[in-house]
Amino acid sequence: QAVDSVAFCRSLFEKLELPIKQEGHSFAFIDNTGSQADKPLIVWIDVVRIEQVVMNLLFNAQKFTPASGSIHLIVEKYGSLEKGDLGLKVKVRDTGNGIDDEDIPFVFDRFYRGRESHKSRSAGTGLGLAICKEIIEHHGGTIDVESKSGKGSTFTFTLPVMVDMEEGEEDV
């Protein structure tokens, strides 16, 4: 399904804004794409699956961040139309527990749960991120994480942006 990616992410944010804020976290949406309403960044996605990815990441952020912390959903652009590698970057950033360096290589593995998760008796099966990775790779994107233990985590996934052929040809 072809969707306006920024509008889609904004609608997910609006849907989850209250539930996340109810837990005490601050939660904000940031659009850094600079895209205009008349030139939307169109992605071809399974909306149910991508919603599942964003929700998994946001629920992790919520689960592993103390209620005084903050969570951001950020959209950015990468690449360029000219080079043919235009894409959307979606980031879920939190100021939570972070992930130990030793755990980082394994967080996308099935059933892997960081030692902190066991200690802090949080619920979960360790499948969430493995499913996210599968869905994103199926869409031709990538997913990775940057994190500092005790400081927070940023999960970033990419989605290729559809290029409007007619418009592209006009530029030649």
Q: Is the dihedral of CA 90, 94, 100, 106 positive or negative?
A: negative
Within 118-137, the residues that bind ligand ATP by CB under 6 A are 124-130
Q: For ligand ATP, which residue of 5, 35, 97, 158 counts as binding (CB under 6 A)? A: 97
71 token code pair: 């969570």
Q: For Mg ion, which residue of 60, 95, 147, 158 counts as binding (CB under 5 A)? A: 60
CB 165, min distance to ligand ATP, A: 38
- Other residues' Cβ atoms within 10 Å of the Cβ of residue 9: 23
- Other residues' Cβ atoms within 10 Å of the Cβ of residue 31: 15
CB 60, min distance to Mg ion, A: 4
Residue 33's binding partner among Mg ion, ligand ATP, none (Cβ under 5 to 8 angstroms by kind) is: none
Q: For ligand ATP, which residue of 43, 61, 73, 161 counts as binding (CB under 6 A)? A: 61
Nearest to 162 by CA among 76, 47, 39: 39
Q: What is the DSSP letter of 104?
A: G
CB 5, min distance to ligand ATP, A: 22
Cβ-proximal residues to 48 (8 Å cutoff; 6+ apart), any chain: none
72 token code pair: 């951001």
CB 52, min distance to ligand ATP, A: 11
Contacting positions for ligand ATP (CB under 6 A):
56, 60-61, 64, 94, 96-99, 107, 112-114, 116-117, 124-130, 153
